[in-house]
Amino acid sequence: MRKLFLLLAVLVLPSSELAAAAKPKGCLTTAEIQAEQEIRHGVFLREAASRCDVEYTKGTRQSWDTFYTQAAPRFAKAKDKRIKAWQREFPDNWQRALTTADGRVVTYHRNYPLSGAYCQSVEDLVQAVTKKGYAGFSKQANTIQNEVIGDYKVCR
């Protein structure tokens, strides 16, 4: 009888773990969309500031790094929320799907043609977030990274 109980416990345990995993919704909540926008906007500002800092707007990368360091706990929350959404929506290959999405964003911004006007715009965006804090950054992300709504269905 004891062996039967152990066997049943072993068989039930994996299925209960699977049942505990969230089922894909086929959409992202508004909070998850916001987290995705914030992460993408952070990647954009980091990559653009790094490239512009070399030739056009010295100090932009340092300003971004300072802001990022100060806002690190908020970025960590956005990152965690984003990962949970991707784990739910792509349970079999969420890491590969997330790496592909991140690679697309990084590749785009690392290859965007630089100009004085573009870099001045990036510097203005970085200065704005350093003045307005994370709330200003989040609002900027909502406006500038609005293609996220086109990439992912928003849960209603």
Q: What are 96-106's pLDDT values in tens digits?
A: 988 988 888 89
Residue 154 phi, psi (nearest 5): -90, 130
User: Which residues 6+ apart lie within 8 Å of 138 measured at CB?
Assistant: 34, 38
Compute the distance between CA of residue 106 and CA of residue 94 in angstroms, rounded to an integer.
Answer: 18
pLDDT of 47 above 50 = yes
**Stated pTM of the model:** 0.82
pLDDT band at 8 (very low <50, low <70, confident <90, very high): very low
Cα distances from 91 to residues 21, 95, 98, 153, in angstroms, run 9, 9, 11, 17
**Residue scoring higher pLDDT (74 or 148):** 74
Span 6-31, average pLDDT: 59
pLDDT of 7 above 70 = no
Judged by DSSP in three states, 92 sits in coil
pLDDT band at 148 (very low <50, low <70, confident <90, very high): confident
Tokens of 112: 């965007």
Tokens of 35: 């987290």
Span 136-148, average pLDDT: 90
pLDDT of 29 above 70 = yes
Helix/strand/coil percentages in the chain, nearest 5: 80, 0, 20
pLDDT band at 21 (very low <50, low <70, confident <90, very high): low
